[in-house]
Amino acid sequence: MADTKIGELLDSLEVTVDLDEGDLVADALVLLKVVKADGTVALLKAGSASLDWLSALGMLTAALEIENSGYQSAPDEV
C-alpha cells in the first residue's frame, strides 16, 4: 500500500473546518472510512508529519468528548 496525500480527497468529500482569521493549524488527525475493492470496510488513521502518538491520542480523546457532549468554550477566567 502506498502513502497517498489526501488534501484533494478531503476537498472532494467537502470536509471543512471553522477557523477564525489568524488561527494557525498546528497538527491534523484524520479518520477515514474506506470501502475496499472487495467490499469490506476499513477504518484508517492519518496524521500530519509532526503529529506524535501522544498528541494524536489527546486529539482523539478530545474529539470523542466533543462528539459525546458537544463543544463548549471554556468560560473566561476572572
pLDDT of residue 12: 95
pLDDT of residue 2: 78
Q: Is 5 part of any domain?
A: no
Q: Is 77 part of any domain?
A: no
pLDDT of residue 77: 57
- Which residue range(s) make up the domain with 29? 25-69
Low-confidence ranges of the chain (pLDDT < 70): 1, 71-78
pLDDT of residue 1: 67
- pTM here is 0.74
Q: Is 19 part of any domain?
A: no
Q: What percent of the chain has pLDDT over 70?
A: 88
pLDDT of residue 76: 64
Q: Is 15 part of any domain?
A: no
Task: State the Cα–Cα distance between residues 66 and 63, nearest whole angstrom.
Answer: 5
Q: Is 18 part of any domain?
A: no
Q: Is 55 part of any domain?
A: yes
Q: Is 12 part of any domain?
A: no
- Residue 73 has which C-alpha cell? 468554550
- Tell me how many domains the chain contains: 1
Spatial CA neighbour of 62 closest among 74, 77, 50, 75: 74
Q: Is 64 part of any domain?
A: yes
